[in-house]
Structure 1
Amino acid sequence: MRALLRRALIAAVTTATVAVGLAGTAEAGQNKPLTADYGPVATLTPAVGRDVDGRLVALTRGSDRSLWYDTQAVAGVGWNGWRNIGTRQLAGKPVVDRDTSGHLVVFARGTDDALWWRTQTDAGTFGPWVRIGGGITDDPAVGRNADGSLSALVRGTAGELWVWKQDGPDTTTGAWTNLGGGIIGSPAVAAQSDGRLVAVVRGGGDAVYVKTQAVVSGAWEPDYVYLGGAINTPPTVQRGVDGLLHLFVRGLDNALYELPQNEPSGAFGTYTRIGGSWTADQFATSRQADGRISVFGRGSDNAFWTVVETEAGSGRFGAPSSLGGRFTSGAAVGVNVDGRLQVFGTGVDRQVWSAAQLDPDGGYAGFTITD
């Protein structure tokens, strides 16, 4: 009955207010009742992962500080309806990855400023929150080690970078290591071609620094490497089909810049200005079905914009292109089972909206509410 009522509300509002084109809109449902009876009143950037059965799962923090999630009804199609599985304990946005069994694992900063996590017990079903501990000030970043264990990187209360690593794949225990430094905001992390994780941070002077594992799945190098630049938002990192890590940052002129490695697992090259005018939200990245890197973010007009690599592995990027909508959060991106990218964000109505590619590597349909 609740699901039917939810869909009736969607249909009624859609008839009255929604006009969707290729670019779409995320403000069409702004008159929708903002109540927990409908779904989450989302407050931060959502997260998205793909379940073991191929269905995308959207996650968000509601205004009640609880974790909410919604699962596609069928892989690539429709939604089952939002579920509240929190107890009002989230201070930040959820971050999601997968363990070696394919189950989604969610990390978040709690209202006690500790790191918490919860793991799926089956497709679409999550276990309870487990407190990892620590004292953190920003949202975590999560990467998977070559041995299958997950590492969560966070900014500590004194500004240093800390990493919590599982003792092994799919285990429930782990250990903290202080990686030092004085960082600003949330870090980013990715695995380079040789399997070692690389952490990317905004440090002193608003410059970019990286720290790399000294051993695959093991200890970290003692020193940071200075990459220069001057940024004003958390960095993002994506590995391309060429094996190179590509860093994406917002410069002090609010434009998008890209910095690639010169060779796989090697040193970094020079910054290239891609342009655009972006908000301070962290960029979201993914690879399309044909291998091209796509970058998503919120523009200064509050619409979502995207930048796409001109050819897979080329390291060259086209001009920013608007996807439309009006958002209050950054973007999150998932990959449907058929290879179509789907971008998610919190609209001005504080509901979660998404737009999917019409075909793999193709254009995007209009934004629709995630019900």
Structure 2
Amino acid sequence: MPSSTTPGLTWSSGYDLGKNNCSEFGAAPQADGCLRLFVRSSYPDDFYGRLRRRDDSWDSWSKIPIVPTTIDGVPTALRGSDGIIGVFWRSRDDGLWAVRQTALNTDGWGTPERLAPQVASDPAVALGADGRISVFCHGTDRALWLVEQQRADRWAWAEPRSLGGDAGGSVRSAPAAARSGDGRLHVFTRDAADELRAIAQDPADPSGGTWGGYARVSTPGATVAGRPFAATDADQRVRVFWRVGTTGWHAVQGPGYANWTAPQALPGSTQETPAAVLTQDGRLAVFLVGTDRQLWIASQKRPGADDFAGPESLGGSCTGTPTPARTQDNRVTVALREPGSDSRASFRTQQWTS
């Protein structure tokens, strides 16, 4: 059975990131390849970032000024087509907000902007084929909403527009988004029946102005729990992950980026949504939180495959969905929140074997 670790690499032991009472993480690489993490602390007004440098050392946590807003839930981050990182979050009064770096690779931040009112879920973000950032979230009306950049070279935003759907009692669960090899964005949402649904840009409209209808991805009556997670395979097909009970599930686009394959169960068990990242050997690595609360990893047996090897334990202890990302040399790192009253932040990373 293939190893769940990329050949030539092994996993480090846990590293304490020095932050307590934290949320799950947002993560994005800078233009220089250095990785930035973002987190909400236990106090709603506290929003922090931390930079991992090329030599694997970390800068100190720095507070990101977001006055006049507050932050609730989990922030998400994305590097735009201009190389500048934007961070997006839901405020305590159900507003959608964004802030971005003032320049490439800087720790300076601009003035936060309110993009939409009446937002119920944390946002999901994706970069369209035309270079514009799209932000998706559930509204308090239970529909899926979209806010887009007006132009790829401007930090200016179009008015929010509804993509319909009905999240029902799952309205607080964030959607997930990813782009497939044909350039279309795909968004995944848990609906009022706790089934997983997908909606995609119309292939006949390259600007992304029109969207298709909703398609069910999970099995009927699946009782999906939590939020979905989406990633793109080495062959540029979007693969989506979700959880039912303590079982992780996945499905992928069929040939020609059309339709969705039948759902398949991941090996092992998980108490949180599986989270995936593409590794340098072309396989997706999927992180699971076992019933023992340890962090586990399962990887595709080959690039683009539907079967997964493992899982193998990475040890430690985790609550909430892990946050995987890649460093500038394409190694995988994963940030996690430890259970317990202090909810400490820690991470594990791939390291070169000697």
Normalised by the shorter chain, which TM-score bucket? 0.7 to 0.9
Aligned to 2:193: 205
Q: Take 1:197 and 1:224, find their aligned partners in 2: how far apart are those partners?
A: 13
Q: By percentage of residues, which structure has more strand?
A: 2
Aligned to 1:70: 50
Aligned to 1:301: 292
Q: Take 1:238 and 1:328, find their aligned partners in 2: how far apart are those partners?
A: 21
What is the Cα deviation at residue 264 of structure 1? 3.5
**2:225 matched to 1:232?**
yes
Aligned to 1:176: 160
8 Å Cα contact 2:11-2:350 kept in structure 1: no
Q: Take 2:151 and 2:251, find their aligned partners in 1: how far apart are those partners?
A: 32
1:286-324 Cα offsets, whole Å, 9 max, x none, are: 100111111113222222121111111223211222211
8 Å Cα contact 1:248-1:257 kept in structure 2: yes
Mapping for residues 237-316 of structure 1, pairs under 5 Å: 237-252=230-245, 254-280=246-272, 282-316=273-307
Aligned to 1:163: 146
Q: Aligned-pair RMSD on alpha carbons?
A: 2.1
SS of the residue aligned with 2:308?
coil
Aligned to 1:95: 76
Q: Take 1:228 and 1:334, find their aligned partners in 2: how far apart are those partners?
A: 26
Aligned to 1:10: none
Q: 1:64 to 1:170 in 2, by over 3 A?
A: farther
Q: Pick from 316, 334, 343: which aligns with 1:343?
A: 334
What is the Cα deviation at residue 48 of structure 1? 1.4
What is the Cα deviation at residue 39 of structure 1? 5.7
1:124-180 Cα offsets, whole Å, 9 max, x none, are: 322222111221111110011111110100000021100111111142222211011
Q: 1:170 to 1:302 in 2, by over 3 A?
A: farther
Q: Take 1:147 and 1:263, find their aligned partners in 2: how far apart are those partners?
A: 23
SS of the residue aligned with 2:174?
strand
**2:2 matched to 1:24?**
no
1:117 is matched by which residue type in structure 2? A
8 Å Cα contact 1:56-1:76 kept in structure 2: no
Aligned to 2:95: 114
| TM-score, with length taken from structure 2 | 0.87
Structure 2 residues not aligned, in runs of 5+ = 1-9
Aligned to 1:52: 31
Q: Pick from 208, 214, 228: which aligns with 1:218?
A: 208
Aligned to 1:35: none
1:46-86 Cα offsets, whole Å, 9 max, x none, are: 121111112111110011222101112x3151111001114
1:264 is matched by which residue type in structure 2? G
SS of the residue aligned with 1:322?
strand
Q: Pick from 347, 350, 353: which aligns with 1:354?
A: 347
8 Å Cα contact 1:40-1:68 kept in structure 2: no
SS of the residue aligned with 1:48?
strand
What is the Cα deviation at residue 262 of structure 1? 1.5
8 Å Cα contact 2:11-2:349 kept in structure 1: no
Q: Pick from 325, 328, 331: which aligns with 2:319?
A: 328
4+ long deviations beyond 3 Å:
21-26
Q: 1:76 to 1:174 in 2, by over 3 A?
A: farther
SS of the residue aligned with 1:264?
helix
Aligned to 2:130: 147
Q: Take 1:350 and 1:76, find their aligned partners in 2: how far apart are those partners?
A: 27
Q: Pick from 179, 182, 195: which aligns with 1:191?
A: 179
Q: Pick from 114, 117, 123: which aligns with 1:134?
A: 117
SS of the residue aligned with 1:238?
strand
Structure 1 residues not aligned, in runs of 5+ = 1-20, 30-37, 364-371
Q: Take 2:313 and 2:176, find their aligned partners in 1: how far apart are those partners?
A: 25
1:250 is matched by which residue type in structure 2? R
SS of the residue aligned with 1:94?
strand
What is the Cα deviation at residue 198 of structure 1? 0.7
What is the Cα deviation at residue 40 of structure 1? 4.0
| TM-score, with length taken from structure 1 | 0.83
8 Å Cα contact 1:145-1:216 kept in structure 2: no
1:161-207 Cα offsets, whole Å, 9 max, x none, are: 00111111142222211011112221111111111111111113211
1:318 is matched by which residue type in structure 2? A
Q: Take 2:133 and 2:55, find their aligned partners in 1: how far apart are those partners?
A: 27
1:286 is matched by which residue type in structure 2? V
Percent identical across equivalent pairs?
26
SS of the residue aligned with 1:193?
coil
What is the Cα deviation at residue 327 of structure 1? 2.2
8 Å Cα contact 2:11-2:348 kept in structure 1: no
Q: Take 1:178 and 1:91, find their aligned partners in 2: how far apart are those partners?
A: 22
